[in-house]
Amino acid sequence: MFDNLLFQGASELLKDDIVSGRLPGAVLFCGPESSGKLTAALETARVLSCSGSPRGKWTCSCSSCLRHKALVSPNLMLLGPRDCSLEIQAAQKAFVSSVSLNDKHINATRYLFLRSVRKLQNRFNPALWQDSDKLNKIAVITGELDERMEEIDAGRELPELKKVEENVQKIVELCQKLEGDFMYDSVPILQIRNLSAWARIGAASGTKVIIIERAERMLEGVRNALLKILEEPPVNTLFILTAARRNAVMPTILSRLRPYSFSSRSAEEEKEIIDRVFHDGMVFMPSNGGSVIQHYLEGFLPVRPETVEKRASDFFDQIFEGKIPDIPDLVKNCGKFEPRVLLKIFLTAMEEKSRKFFESASGTQKAMVVSTALRDVWLNISTYNQSVQSALEELLCVLAREGRR
């Protein structure tokens, strides 16, 4: 039980509460990025529906465990924003490498790749997107994903290497389109309403588990809708919310959750996790002392984060020096900001640059204008599908006006 959750004390607490029957109907997993919160949530869902004996072993072959390990269980609902593309690409590399070498990790890396894709795909469950005007467009992509993933599904004989590479690359491209075009920055209220209806339909067997990632990003209306469900939770259903910080969750929701804290792991522990999960022993430590796992995944970006940060710094300085930056060139050299995590890196670096304005009382207002403008850029792109170039042109106009004051 929780064999795949490495170097986290929370695993023992969860195990004790499950075995003793003390696990409540709603919990919060809180802790930093790359600390295993989603892994723990998915494993909790598997264990609660396991029909094997002894209960919850990772090697259990009961039908429920097999579906949960493949992330195709009808008892699982997964929602909330997440940058999935880098993990998918890391899993792609591990899988294709194992196939090319015909080594002992083929089945493990195949599972890894399929699970990484389904961590994204499950957020587009038709039950969640019912009555959304985007459902038909999403269904086209997820339908093709299903067809292509069936060709490499566990238990099937794999085709020759070239066909595996072509199929896997197409799956990655479909995932990037799904995430880039339809991933939300916070859970839509429609999904909470649809979730409520789904949760109240009893499970044929086992326990229904609803995982909501990055709960701290939920807007007020969404939080209130979720609170109504938590006040009268459906029977035989577990809610697992995740958040970076416990105090970032609305107090009225927090009061209905039992928190489990996840801590940062050491660099050596994270290095071992990468080796065991992705079978990659060539891992370099980040020079800034940050997360080794995050640094490893960022290696799959088409543009290095340091390059994007430098571009953001130059963009900021040019505007406040009265110059006009070349936005088309900026977009091109930042990989068109695809995947979208590149845009987050760019906007975060801009936000950091604006902090210098807080050094004076007169600059505080300017810093607030910058912060608001940066949030608008993200909102307009992620929610209203504005092009990156157009959004940055509007940002340029706003900041240029502020720079002339």
Backbone φ and ψ of 212, nearest 5°: -120, 110
Task: Specify the pLDDT at position 361.
Answer: 66
Half-sphere exposure of 12 (CA within 13 A, CB side): 3
* Percent residues over pLDDT 70 in the chain: 99
As a whole number, the mean pLDDT across the chain is: 93
Distance in angstroms between the alpha carbons of the first and the last residue of the chain: 61
Q: Which residue would you say has higher pLDDT here, 43 or 53?
A: 43
> Lowest-pLDDT range, 125-129, 132-136, 204-208, 212-216?
204-208
Residue 217 has pLDDT above 70, yes or no: yes
Q: Which residue would you say has higher pLDDT here, 162 or 286?
A: 162
CB 318 within 8 A of CB 329: no
Q: Is 66 exposed, middle or buried (0-12, 13-18, 19+ CB in 10 A)?
A: middle
Q: Which residue would you say has higher pLDDT here, 365 or 37?
A: 37
Cα separation, 253 vs 94, whole angstroms: 39
Q: Which residue would you say has higher pLDDT here, 363 or 52?
A: 52
Cα separation, 65 vs 73, whole angstroms: 9
Would you place residue 355 in the very low, low, confident or very high pLDDT band (cuts 50, 70, 90)?
A: confident
The letter for the amino acid at 372 is T
The letter for the amino acid at 400 is A
The 3-state DSSP class for residue 25 equals: coil
Helix or strand run (H / E) with residue 260: strand 258-261
